C-alpha cells in the first residue's frame, strides 16, 4: 500500500450487531483497532431482523455497540457483506459523547412491521422486558 493512499485513511465505525465481538461477521474486523463500547444518542430505532439487527434514524433508543478504527479497504469489505448501499446504507451516527462516526442503517420503510428492540442492545433481544 502506498503511504497516504485512500486505503490508509482511517475511519471510526460503530457497530451494534453482526460485527460485534463473538457475532457471525466479527471476522471482518480482525486486526482492527477496538476503541471500546459505545452508545448512540437516543435518536434511533433498533429492529430485530433475526440473525442481525438494523437501525433507522428516528426514534428514542440509545443503541449499544462497539467502536472500531478501520481503514477504507476493510470498510469496503464490510460494505460488500452488508450489501451497501442496496440493503444497508453507510451513514453518520451520533454517539452519546457527541462524536460523529460511521455506521450502517436501513431506511424506515425497509423495516416496517419488524419487531423493535426497545432496550437498545441486540444481544439483549431475548431478555424478558421488565
Q: Does the structure show a pLDDT above 60 at 3?
A: no
Torsion of CA 99, 96, 70, 122, to 10 degrees: -160
Residue 126's pLDDT band (cuts 50, 70, 90): confident
Q: Does the structure show a pLDDT above 80 at 72?
A: yes
Q: How confident is the model over 15-31, as a mean pLDDT?
A: 96
Q: How confident is the model over 104-123, as a mean pLDDT?
A: 95
Would the pTM of this model clear 0.85, i.e. be above it?
A: yes
Half-sphere exposure of 13 (CA within 13 A, CB side): 27
Assign domain 6-121 to a CATH class: alpha beta
Work out the percent of the chain whose per-residue pLDDT is above 70: 92
| Max Cα–Cα distance, the chain, nearest Å | 54
User: In the chain, where are the structural domains located?
Assistant: 6-121
Amino acid at each position: 500500500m502506498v503511504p497516504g493512499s485512500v486505503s490508509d485513511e482511517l475511519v471510526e465505525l460503530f457497530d451494534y450487531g453482526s460485527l460485534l465481538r463473538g457475532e457471525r461477521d466479527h471476522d471482518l474486523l480482525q486486526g482492527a483497532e477496538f476503541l471500546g463500547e459505545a452508545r448512540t444518542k437516543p435518536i434511533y430505532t433498533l429492529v430485530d431482523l433475526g440473525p442481525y439487527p438494523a437501525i433507522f434514524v428516528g426514534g428514542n433508543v440509545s443503541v449499544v455497540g462497539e467502536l472500531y478504527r478501520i481503514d477504507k479497504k476493510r470498510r469496503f469489505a464490510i460494505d460488500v457483506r452488508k450489501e451497501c448501499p442496496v440493503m444497508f446504507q453507510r451513514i453518520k451516527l451520533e454517539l452519546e459523547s457527541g462524536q460523529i462516526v460511521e455506521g450502517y442503517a436501513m431506511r424506515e420503510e425497509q423495516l416496517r412491521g419488524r419487531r423493535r428492540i426497545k432496550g437498545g442492545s441486540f444481544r439483549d433481544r431475548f431478555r424478558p422486558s421488565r
